[in-house]
């Protein structure tokens, strides 16, 4: 496509370009925009500059016509004869900050706009953001603000450009992309930021076969997964080495109707073991399957006769070992009979509010406000274990497994209808429907926290062999997710702690200055603040502390502090109204009575207190004490702050 054709096409979508005009080769040139550039547009002249066929910085029509003649003779000198299929284009020469706007057709997220610093610095600084073609104004602005170049919209060094100009340009590109699905790649570099708005002065467009649009392709009118009334465990077993035993045991807290099924029959935990699903009277809305994979399709069909609504397939041995067929059949049955499937190859499901634990994790169960979705059973298991130790409770737990049916977007949609769920944490390895994922987070009334693996090429490979899912470009993932309003975590445990830890003012009580300094760095790195002590608060501490205490936060109560001094300090600082979190830092000094300091943490202080016990074996007694009491504590400064 010639430059003038591209400009015309872009213009019809209100994508601003410089002023330009085309002229036949025998036509007298006359324009009203200067300075200008004149170039030949001819298929016979590929490298215009080599042919002397571009003239820059021209300031009158007279000079333009002279330049035109010069170009004609330059081309003739190269032995090329121009004819009536050729023409000249005269383009307004603009200047301004060089920006970049691009469009990619990502395998996960489909059509996505890339915006940032342009020119040669695009590659050097990679200062770009990612914008969904369905993003609204606010989302576009949120994305733009993730770049450093966005400071030019912010009064930086006297720049006074309005961000709305960028938004307007990007919206035009969104419309262009939606109207031309066959455009699979687009590079505007540079787009110049002028006082009249953004104008693209160089455009490269690639057409091709578009990936199918994924927005709106989810199943409609699904039953809500979380309405679990009559539940069956298929494969409940009296053999304690079997998963079916563990699940049956964990399920005993449930107060609703629960049925155990095992072909061998008999009894388990005082309940009948039905020899088949068909033997159960009435419908089953929720079932867990733990039997060998080869029996799963058949059992699913039996459950369909029981009007199954929600199916959790724990059994492994599907896609992950190359059996795609059974997964396909189950997915088709689910569609045809309108039921939901979680798994296969998963750890199970837990509904905290209903005290329904259909997982085989050993970790205990606490009800709470956090819904946790995990694409790795092992990660989920470790998190459940950690949550138990740290008294974090769940509204829902879903071990996603191979995700043959329900996807993240649908789970997030459904969780939004559950009052018991206040926050949603997602451990994701691969996303299948990126557009719906973004849509669901965009619409979610509950804040979403996401940890995503697959940053490096190597781990992408590992994730693929692991779940068979794709795990795209991490930078794009992070950019899109942040624009859409979720929080990206760089630490797995943050999925447990962050939703429950919206702390601002942190206070440190310590018996050593050095580690407190490092802890301070970590806290500030995570964007949190140290609480500022008032004069009165300092005086209050003066009364109980040695004269050489730090008189500041970190409250350094000096290396010879014993438990009584820690206690006197806590007595005072736990009453500081605006302190959200207290780190109790204990380092092994010769006389430190770690155990008694640890015991202080048992008390109800009315503030969140996180003890950090630094040092190895000599802290063991104190650590074991806190472990036995199921009190959360940390062993390194990094772990104590990693979830902030």
Q: Footprint of its own copies on residues 251-280 (CB under 8 A)?
A: none
600 Cα distance to chain centroid = 38
CB 100 within 8 A of CB 115: yes
362 binds its own copies (CB under 8 A): yes
Whose CA is closest to 200, among 118, 88, 111?
118
Task: For residue 301, count CB atoms less than 10 angstroms from its CB and return exposed for 0-12, middle for 13-18, buried for 19 or more.
Answer: middle
Q: How far is the CB of 427 from its own copies (least distance, A)?
A: 7
> Closest distance between its own copies and the C-beta of residue 87, in Å?
30
Q: How far is the CB of 134 from its own copies (least distance, A)?
A: 29
According to the binding rule CB under 8 A, does residue 493 interact with its own copies? yes
Indicate which single residue of 258, 406, 492, 579 sits in contact with its own copies (rule: CB under 8 A): 492
- Binding flag, residue 246, its own copies (CB under 8 A): yes
Binding residues for its own copies restricted to 120-139, rule: CB under 8 A: 120-121, 123-125, 127
Among 12, 14, 156, 324, binds its own copies (CB under 8 A): 156
Q: Produce one character per residue of 480-516: b if its CB has 16 or more CB atoms within 10 Å, e if not.
A: bbbbbbbebbeebbbbbbbbbeeeebbbbbbbbeebb
Residue 56: CB minimum distance to its own copies, A:
13
Residue holding tokens 């619409």?
A: 443
Interface of this chain with its own copies, residues 94 to 123, rule: CB under 8 A: 120-121, 123
User: Is residue 151 within the footprint of its own copies (CB under 8 A)?
Assistant: yes
Of 481 and 637, nearer to its own copies (C-beta) is: 637
CB of 512 to its own copies, least distance (A): 3
- Cα(91)–Cα(544) distance, integer angstroms: 78
- Return phi, psi of residue 524, to 5°: -65, -40
Q: Where are the beta strands (DSSP E) in 179-283?
A: 183-194, 197-200, 203-207, 230-234, 257-261, 267-268, 271-274
List residues bridging with 88 in a β-sheet: 23, 40
What are the angstrom distances between the C-alpha of 492 and each of 34, 147, 232, 398?
A: 58, 25, 32, 16
Helix (H, G, I), strand (E, B) or coil at 13: coil
| Residue nearer to its own copies on the CB measure, 62 or 123 | 123
Q: Could you give the CA distance from residue 328 to residue 470 in angstroms, rounded to a whole number?
A: 18
> Could you say which residues in the range 377-406 bind its own copies, by CB under 8 A?
377-379, 381-382, 385-386, 388-389
Using CB under 8 A as the binding rule, whether residue 491 contacts its own copies is answered as yes
Nearer to its own copies, 332 or 620 (CB): 620
Question: One symbol per residue from 163 to 182: x for binding its own copies (CB under 8 A), - otherwise; what is it?
Answer: --------------------
Q: Point out which span in 70-78, 130-138, 413-421, 453-461 binds its own copies (CB under 8 A).
A: 453-461
| Nearer of residues 212 and 322 to its own copies, judged by Cβ | 322
Label residue 421 exposed, middle or buried (CB < 10 Å: 0-12, 13-18, 19+).
buried
**Could you give the 3-state DSSP secondary structure of residue 84?**
coil
Tokens, residue 563: 């438990």
Binding to its own copies in span 506-565, by CB under 8 A: 511-518, 520-521, 523-525, 530, 547-548, 550-552, 554, 556, 559
Please pick, from the candidates 575, 620, 621, 629, the single residue that binds its own copies as defined by CB under 8 A: 620
Residue 320 is a binding residue for its own copies (CB under 8 A)? yes
User: By CB under 8 A, is residue 582 in contact with its own copies?
Assistant: no
Of the pair 304, 538, the CB lying nearest its own copies is at 538
Q: Which of residues 186-205 bind its own copies (CB under 8 A)?
A: none
The residues in 418-437 that bind its own copies, with binding defined as CB under 8 A, are 427, 429
Instruction: Check residue 228 for interaction with its own copies (CB under 8 A).
Output: no
Query: At its nearest, how many Å lie between its own copies and the CB of residue 333?
Result: 24
- In the bound complex, what is the minimum distance in angstroms from residue 301's beta carbon to its own copies? 26
Question: CB-wise, 347 or 414, nearer to its own copies?
Answer: 347
Please, are residues 336 and 361 in contact by the beta-carbon 8 Å criterion?
Answer: no
Distance (Å, rounded) from C-alpha 439 to C-alpha 615?
Answer: 46
Closest CA to 544 of 513, 509, 588, 591: 509
Burial of 479 (0-12, 13-18, 19+ CB in 10 A): buried
Q: Tell me the per-residue interface mask from 461 to 480 with its own copies, x by CB under 8 A, - otherwise.
A: xxx-xxx-------------
Neighbours of 217 (CB within 10 A): 10
Shorter beta-carbon distance to its own copies: residue 301 or 487: 487
Which residues, including other chains, have CB under 8 Å from residue 90's CB and lie 6 or more apart? 20, 21, 22, 23, 29, 31, 36, 37, 38, 64
Which window, 1-9, 214-222, 401-409, 613-621, contacts its own copies (CB under 8 A)? Answer: 613-621
Residue 587 is a binding residue for its own copies (CB under 8 A): yes
């Amino acid at each position: 496509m010639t430059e003038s054709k591209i400009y015309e096409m872009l213009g019809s979508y209100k994508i601003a370009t410089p002023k330009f005009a085309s002229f036949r080769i025998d036509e007298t040139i006359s324009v009203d925009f200067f300075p200008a550039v004149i170039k030949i547009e001819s298929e016979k002249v590929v490298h215009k500059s080599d042919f002397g066929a571009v003239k820059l910085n021209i300031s009158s029509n007279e000079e333009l016509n002279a330049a035109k003649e010069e170009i004609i003779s330059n081309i003739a000198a190269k032995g090329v004869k121009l004819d009536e299929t050729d023409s000249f284009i005269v383009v307004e020469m603009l200047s301004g900050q060089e920006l970049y706007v691009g469009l990619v057709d990502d395998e996960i997220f489909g059509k996505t706009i890339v915006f940032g610093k342009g020119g040669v610095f695009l590659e050097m600084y990679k200062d770009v953001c990612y914008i969904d073609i369905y993003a609204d104004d606010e989302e576009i602005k949120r994305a733009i603000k993730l770049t450093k170049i966005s400071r030019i919209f912010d009064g930086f060094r006297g720049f006074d450009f309005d961000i709305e100009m960028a938004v307007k340009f990007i919206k035009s590109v969104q419309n262009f992309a939606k109207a031309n699905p066959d455009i699979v790649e687009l590079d505007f570099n540079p787009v110049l930021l002028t006082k009249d708005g953004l104008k693209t002065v160089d455009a490269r467009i690639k057409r091709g076969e578009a990936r199918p649009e994924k927005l709106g392709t989810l199943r409609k009118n699904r039953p809500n997964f979380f309405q679990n009334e009559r539940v069956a465990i298929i494969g409940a077993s009296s053999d304690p080495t079997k998963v079916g035993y563990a699940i049956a045991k964990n399920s005993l807290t449930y107060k609703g109707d629960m049925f155990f099924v095992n072909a061998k029959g008999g009894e388990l935990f005082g309940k009948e073991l039905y020899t088949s699903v068909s033997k159960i009277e009435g419908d089953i809305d929720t079932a867990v399957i733990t039997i060998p994979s080869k029996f799963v399709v058949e059992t699913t069909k039996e459950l369909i006769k029981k009007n199954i609504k929600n199916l959790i397939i724990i059994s492994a041995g599907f896609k992950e070992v190359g059996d795609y067929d059974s997964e396909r059949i189950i997915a088709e049955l689910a569609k045809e009979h309108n039921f939901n499937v979680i798994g296969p190859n998963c750890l199970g499901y837990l509904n905290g509010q209903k005290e329904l634990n259909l997982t085989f994790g050993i970790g205990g169960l606490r009800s709470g406000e956090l819904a946790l979705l995990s694409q790795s059973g092992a990660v989920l298991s470790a998190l459940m274990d950690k949550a138990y130790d740290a008294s974090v409770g769940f509204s829902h737990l879903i071990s996603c497994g191979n995700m043959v049916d329900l996807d993240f977007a649908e789970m997030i949609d459904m969780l939004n209808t559950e009052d018991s769920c206040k926050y949603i944490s997602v451990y994701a390895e691969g996303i299948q429907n990126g557009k719906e994922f973004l849509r669901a987070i965009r619409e979610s009334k509950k804040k979403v926290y996401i940890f995503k693996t697959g940053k490096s090429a190597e781990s992408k490979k590992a994730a693929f062999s692991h779940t068979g899912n794709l795990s795209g470009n991490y930078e794009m993932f992070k950019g899109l997710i942040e624009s859409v309003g979720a929080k990206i975590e760089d630490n797995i445990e943050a999925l447990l702690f962050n939703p429950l830890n919206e702390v601002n003012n942190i206070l440190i009580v310590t018996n050593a200055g050095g580690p407190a300094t490092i802890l301070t760095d970590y806290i500030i790195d995570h964007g949190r603040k140290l609480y500022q002590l008032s004069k009165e608060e300092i005086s209050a501490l003066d009364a109980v502390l040695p004269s050489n205490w730090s008189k500041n936060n970190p409250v350094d109560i000096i290396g010879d502090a014993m438990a009584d001094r820690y206690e006197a300090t806590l007595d005072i600082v736990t009453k500081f109204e605006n302190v959200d979190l207290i780190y109790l830092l204990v380092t092994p000094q010769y006389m430190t009575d770690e155990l008694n300091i640890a015991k202080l943490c048992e008390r109800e202080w009315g503030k969140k207190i996180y003890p950090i016990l630094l040092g190895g074996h000599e802290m063991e007694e104190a650590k074991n004490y806190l472990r036995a009491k199921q009190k959360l504590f940390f062993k390194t400064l990094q772990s104590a702050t990693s979830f902030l």
